[in-house]
Copies of this chain bind each other. A is one copy, B any other.
Amino acid sequence: MPQIDHTVHVALGERAYDILIGPRLLEEAGAILADRFPGRRFGIVTDETVAKAQLPRLQTALDAAGLSYSAIVLPPGEATKSYSALEQVVEGLLAARLERGDLVIALGGGVIGDLAGFAAAITRRGMDFVQMPTSLLAQVDSSVGGKTGINSPQGKNLVGAFHQPRLVLADLSTLDTLPLRQFAAGYAEVVKYGLIDDPQFFEWLEANRSEIFAGGPARGEAIARCCAHKARVVIEDETETGVRALLNLGHTFGHALEKDTGYSDRLLHGEGVSIGMVLAHGFSTRLGLAPGQDASRVENHLKAAGLPTRLADIPGEIGSTETLMAAVAQDKKVQRGALTFILTRGIGQAFIEKNVDPQVVHGYLEEMRSA
């Protein structure tokens, strides 16, 4: 019997699925897949780094269960969420003669999950897929909820599909090989859940951050709480026509910064979100919506986790305020010309504001550049 510490059910009717969280689920993957998807074949999609660190564990388990699979290995990094990598994955799945009822396995971080999920969505007009997230960010965020896609030269995640996985297997031990900087970046998304609407969780994180980073039981608990939170939101608003947009707290600024730094190692997604969340809190304070001490508390917590919190923390030059504003405007959370932002009334009190004046954002960013 596999050791499963936490199970989160995502109750989406016909598209319902489970998130299983446990210490060594890759070893159990063969048995779990054979049981849940009898007679299917599998196409594993992963990146070179994860292939080295984790793929042999999965292969051994699939072999032991007598499952048939092939593997497609891509270069690591955000640049892999591209049209050309998408084509490569789709063509690889077709070349492996996978059929509509077969399954794509996304083994990796959010890049692989988004890319492989999107490839599954469009290959033969829709194949099933399983998420096996190996980064903290993927385990708490990207592997749950069915948003899949790639980046456009015009902006992040502008091309994609809503396509729910059939199962998520989060193996906690995969995080043992994840670089600390990547772990911290994922932690920004953990903090996000507290900031949106769960002040107790934020407090709990303040008390348990060290244990989460060290790998104690609080780590699994934090991941399960994040998944449960995200599942709740996704059930309520699967295709992001409403409350799901709250999950974008920090992301409009974050995406603009990621774009500006070329989706490169200069700024990881979670690092952009960290700075973005601090900016969102600071901006809300500036608008007189939120108490200034909340903004400081947020910044202090993220800083203690080793995350960048200010524009000046980004190595190298960043673009002009005009460039950043253009990226903000092109971000997909633009509705009929007006800027939509996630603002907040304080820790755990985020809300969607659809009528933000671009001029005011411009002025705030200008000031933050020299802060």
Please tell me if the beta carbons of A154 and B100 are within 8 angstroms of each other in the complex. Answer: no
Contacts of A100 in B (CB 8 A): 332, 335
Q: Is A132 an interface residue (CB 8 A)?
A: no
Contacts of A121 in B (CB 8 A): 161
Closest B residue to A332 by beta carbon equals B124
Complex CA distance for A94 and B151, rounded to whole angstroms: 12
Closest Cβ of chain B: how far from A150's Cβ, in Å? 9
Please tell me if the beta carbons of B99 and A158 are within 8 angstroms of each other in the complex. Answer: no
Please tell me if the beta carbons of A126 and B239 are within 8 angstroms of each other in the complex. Answer: yes
Dominant secondary structure at the A interface: mixed
Please tell me if the beta carbons of B159 and A122 are within 8 angstroms of each other in the complex. Answer: yes
Please tell me if the beta carbons of B162 and A94 are within 8 angstroms of each other in the complex. Answer: no
Complex CA distance for A99 and B332, rounded to whole angstroms: 8
Q: Which of A83-91, A203-211, A214-222, A286-294 lies at the interface with chain B?
A: A83-91
Residues of A participating in the B interface, judged by any CB pair closer than 8 Å: 39, 83, 87, 90-91, 94-95, 97, 99-101, 118, 121-126, 147, 149, 152-155, 157-162, 239, 330, 332, 334-336
Q: Give 12 A-B pairs besides A39-B336, A90-B152, A99-B334 with Cβ atoms closer than 8 angstroms.
A: A91-B154, A94-B158, A95-B154, A99-B336, A100-B332, A100-B335, A121-B161, A122-B161, A123-B158, A125-B157, A125-B160, A126-B161
